[in-house]
Amino acid sequence: MAKNRRKFTQCPNCGYTFEDINNYCPNCGQENHDLNVPVKHLIAEFFEGTLHFDTKAWKTLKYLILKPGLLTEKFNIGKRASYVPPFRLYVFVSIIFFFVLALTTDNIIRSDGSAGSDGDVTSSLPGVTISTNLNDSLLAASDTAALRKVREITQSSQELQALRSELGESGFASEFAKFTSHGDESKQKLFKNLSFMMFLLMPFFALVLYLYYRKQNRNYVEHLMFSIHLHTFYFILLIVVLLIGQLFPALDTDWAVLFIMTLYLYFALHQVYKQSYLRTFLSLLPIGFVYLITLLIFFLGTVFVSVLLT
């Protein structure tokens, strides 16, 4: 979609006199576009330039959400102009996700939080525990069984006290205690690092797919597009879950989220890699297992780095 430009007759930067065809100044390179307009016009242009909210965007989202793997397949066979580029879509959705994540967390703590015995403020989302302790860091993960085990361990004050006593409050244990005492500051730092973690997780998961389906002789980029679309959908799903959690705080969505994620991955693998339903199911088991282990390792690594950078 062509950009609707408000053109100058003369470049404000260098004084070059524009011709009608000049979208950029031939002399200094500045864009020939007047930004001195009401804020609502700038917001509309941001959405237009970032995601192209026209038929292309809605068609892309429809295929991404309702037809697992089809968008990746179309990209891989060269049908790209009609859809939002995968990486641009991922960046836009991930920004919304982390914004909603931070916003809903703050709102819930302010409206429903209560002080615990140790002075920490705790609350909950469906399938998510929020507190000013380290446990709130687990909010940013999808609450898989493995990550819930990590949360149980961190919630055990006795185990934490034993660890601190054994290490004499020195080294990493000391840094860990310092990190957990910072509350909201630690949470915000963890959110920031989690966004970078997810950015690294996508190409790593693509590598897993590349190795598993190596006999299909596909380029790595094809698997990367699959991973980007998959994680974009996961972000959209978690955005919906966070918003539902605001409306129905008592609703438990743990298993529903895990089921939808698994089901989406299954149908996406079937669509893109063209195996039978049975072969796809047999492939899903090792791929899903490796993905969960990878997610756990990346998450623990993110917590470790966040603690060290405190």
Among 179, 177, 80, 190, CA closest to 139: 190
* Burial class of 291 by CB neighbour count within 10 A (0 to 12, 13 to 18, 19+): buried
Banded model confidence at residue 220, pLDDT cuts 50, 70, 90: very high
The pLDDT value recorded for residue 193 is 77
3-class DSSP assignment, residue 86: helix
Q: Is the pLDDT of residue 289 over 70?
A: yes
For residues 18-54, b (16+ Cβ closer than 10 Å) or e, as one string? Answer: beeeeeebeeeeeebeeeeeeeeeeeeeeeeeebbee
Instruction: Give phi and psi for 40, each to the nearest 5.
Output: -60, -30
Calpha distance 271→268 (Å, rounded): 5
Two structure tokens written together for 251: 């609703």
Whether the model clears a pTM of 0.95, i.e. scores above it, the answer is no
Two structure tokens written together for 299: 């998450």
Q: For all residues of the chain together, what is the average pLDDT?
A: 76
Contact 258, 216 (CB under 8 A): no
Banded model confidence at residue 260, pLDDT cuts 50, 70, 90: very high
166-184: pLDDT as tens digits: 544 455 566 666 666 665 6
Q: How far is CA 169 from CA 122, 153, 172, in A?
A: 25, 18, 8
27-36: pLDDT as tens digits: 888 888 766 6
Instruction: Give phi and psi for 129, each to the nearest 5.
Output: -105, 135
Other Cβ atoms closer than 10 A to 276: 9
Query: Where are the domains positioned within the chain?
Result: 1-36, 89-308
Two structure tokens written together for 269: 């693998």
Which of 113-122, 242-251, 254-263 ranks highest by mean pLDDT?
A: 254-263
Q: Is the pLDDT of residue 270 over 70?
A: yes
Among 76, 71, 104, CA closest to 89: 71
Amino acid at 234: Y
Q: Work out the percent of the chain whose per-residue pLDDT is above 70.
A: 62
Two structure tokens written together for 39: 């804020």
- Identify the residue whose tokens are 């002075």: 119
Q: What is the helix (H) or strand (E) element at residue 114, kind and residue range?
A: strand 114-115
Two structure tokens written together for 45: 């242009």
Contacts 24+ apart (CB under 8 A), 73-79: 73/271, 73/272, 75/225, 76/222, 76/225, 76/272
Angle (nearest 5°) at CA 221 between 219 and 225: 130
70-93: pLDDT as tens digits: 999 999 888 888 888 898 889 889
Q: How far is CA 239 from CA 98, 101, 171, 250, in A?
A: 9, 8, 37, 17
Q: Is the pLDDT of residue 128 over 50?
A: no
